């Protein structure tokens, strides 16, 4: 099981930037995918971005393409989500997750295959 702890959330104005971090424990070779998901009050969980731990292939939801970047630093056991040009609709609790494989449907990351989840970090964007 992989332990994950997110940080870096906060409140920003529209157009601003934040970088989320997710510190994870050492994982075995069965963990093939890391990802970021978000959930706003009253809405379903949404896949934001995911990355294959080996090949480094990345996937993004259409709503964040060109604005968000997912990256992994294996030396630091940290997953990042750089978020630029933030919009009020990006307001949500953001969770990182580790899983057996990356599931992508119509180009968007899905939660299928993710086993371990962090507690989340809140991002609030004001207009």
Q: Report the SS3 class of residue 45.
A: coil
pLDDT tops 90 at residue 55: no
Query: What's the pLDDT band for 88 if we cut at 50, 70, 90?
Result: very high
| CA 90 to chain CA centroid, nearest Å | 12
Per DSSP bridges, beta strands 114-117 and 78-83 are: unpaired
Judged by average pLDDT, the poorest of 26-35, 36-45, 86-95 is: 26-35
Q: Are 4 and 77 in contact (CB under 8 A)?
A: no
Average pLDDT over the chain reads 94
Q: What is the predicted pLDDT for the residue at 59?
A: 94
């Amino acid at each position: 099981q992989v332990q994950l702890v997110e940080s870096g959330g906060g409140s920003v104005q529209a157009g601003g930037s934040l970088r989320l971090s997710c510190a994870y424990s050492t994982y075995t070779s069965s963990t093939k995918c890391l990802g970021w998901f978000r959930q706003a009050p009253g809405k379903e969980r949404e896949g934001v971005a995911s990355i294959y731990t080996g090949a480094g292939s990345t996937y993004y939801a259409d709503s964040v393409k060109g604005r968000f970047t997912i990256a992994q630093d294996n030396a630091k056991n940290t997953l990042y989500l750089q978020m630029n040009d933030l919009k009020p609709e990006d307001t949500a609790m953001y969770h990182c997750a580790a899983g057996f494989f990356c599931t992508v449907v119509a180009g968007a990351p899905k939660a299928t295959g993710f086993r371990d989840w962090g507690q989340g970090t809140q991002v609030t964007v004001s207009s």
